[in-house]
Amino acid sequence: MTRWSPDGRRRLQDAALQLFEERGYSETTVAAVAEHAGLTERTFFRHFNDKKEVLFDENRLGELVAAETRASDASTAVEMAADGFRAVAAQLQLEPARVRRRALVIAASPELQERELLKITEWTAAVTRALEAERVEPRAARIAAEVSTAIFRIAYGIWLEATDPMNLVATLDALLEVLRSVLVTVPRGSDAVGARGTSSQG
Amino acid sequence: MTRWSPDGRRRLQDAALQLFEERGYSETTVAAVAEHAGLTERTFFRHFNDKKEVLFDENRLGELVAAETRASDASTAVEMAADGFRAVAAQLQLEPARVRRRALVIAASPELQERELLKITEWTAAVTRALEAERVEPRAARIAAEVSTAIFRIAYGIWLEATDPMNLVATLDALLEVLRSVLVTVPRGSDAVGARGTSSQG
């Protein structure tokens, strides 16, 4: 059963991450990844549909975000979806160094960026379905899913680029607070008191 | 001065839309588009950087959304950005049949979809900058821009797929209303009274 073990999957992911970093994504073959992991190409394709997929454990994260959205007992639709993304954030927060290495590999390849965009679109769809399953009105479900996805992406971007250690879940929570604020006010920078009144744009 | 006229630009766009519909985007050359418009290939490239660009008047829309965001005197950051997107919506609403034809051509080509995604990302960046120029706090500007972009995209999608005539600006306004609702409550479908209490998911 060794070739089916989660350990094999993880070894392939580790090998891929390392080779993509060293040689670049395009320059690395599936055969090289499998060999580096001490496994066969055939085993690789038992775990992953294609070379890109080895970097994306997001099918699992997609299931997680949907399950946690459904399980949420939050009092607003956005908060339900946010509970889904909090679970994903907590997961990523477990291995910050690895997540950042992976992000750099993706950032270096338009092909991988495209796949990442597609995965995120799938998360949004999964969250929409999860909210609908909890009887949220369809348009509201879609909007809550899209908005919480956008907030998650911004939080993730800020977290990836942070030079000091930073907690992804806390960043997400802070941005959800900002989201509430942008819907009830115009949050000005501290030096902006009265600035709009003197603007010639109005 | 004929070859510089806006009329030339429009003729090229009309020719491209027609040929892309008839032959497909990949199968249509720039030379064919220029010839169909009664202009030269050189003139085409005076107006557009590449073949894709002839379908995207979005540079102008990107300027419009930013200018209208800055000019807005709305009382929330999201409403300021929404005023920008209302201007774009009003523009698209002027030629619904043409906008729908264009959307079908884009939907048929992954290359064009990619360009459209890129353009939308540029709008979001332009709205963020516009809000920052109005002294909105940077994180709040980014979030208001992303959220209003998401709402615009959903409204645009609903409007494109509507079988009955529908007003895009009104659709956008309705979704902004839903956005406010998903942040303060869980908007359930009408058949959902008490549904969560009986769910086995919690």
Residue A170 scores a pLDDT above 60 = yes
CA distance B31 to A119: 37
* pTM confidence score: 0.81
Better-predicted residue by pLDDT, B6 or B148: B148
Confidence class for position A4, pLDDT limits 50, 70, 90: low
Min Cα–Cα distance to chain B from A1, Å? 33
Report CB contact under 8 Å: B143, A182: yes
Min Cα–Cα distance to chain A from B49, Å? 21
Least reliable range by pLDDT among A4-13, A74-83, A168-177, A189-198: A189-198
Interface predicted TM-score (ipTM) = 0.75
Tokens at B72, concatenated: 């807005």
Give the pLDDT confidence score for residue B192 in this predicted structure: 44
Least reliable range by pLDDT among A33-47, A106-120, B138-152, B181-195: B181-195
On whether the CB atoms of residues B70 and B91 are closer than 8 A, the answer is no
- CB-CB: which of B142, B153, B180 is closest to A183? B180
- CB-CB: which of B136, B142, B184 is closest to A188? B136
Confidence class for position B2, pLDDT limits 50, 70, 90: very low
- Chain B residues whose beta carbon lies within 8 Å of the beta carbon of residue A188: 135-137
Confidence class for position A196, pLDDT limits 50, 70, 90: very low
- Chain A residues whose beta carbon lies within 8 Å of the beta carbon of residue B135: 188-189, 191-192, 195-196
Report CB contact under 8 Å: B135, A70: no
Rg, Å, chain A Cα set: 20
Give the pLDDT confidence score for residue A6 in this predicted structure: 60
Question: To the nearest whole number, what is the mean pLDDT of chain B?
Answer: 88
- Chain A residues whose beta carbon lies within 8 Å of the beta carbon of residue B157: none
| A133-161 confidence digits (pLDDT tens) | 999 999 999 999 999 999 999 999 999 99
On whether the CB atoms of residues B43 and B49 are closer than 8 A, the answer is no
- CB-CB: which of A77, A178, A183 is closest to B76? A183
Question: To the nearest whole number, what is the mean pLDDT of chain A?
Answer: 88
Report CB contact under 8 Å: B143, A150: yes
Q: Which residues share a beta bridge with A136?
A: B188
On whether the CB atoms of residues B30 and B53 are closer than 8 A, the answer is no
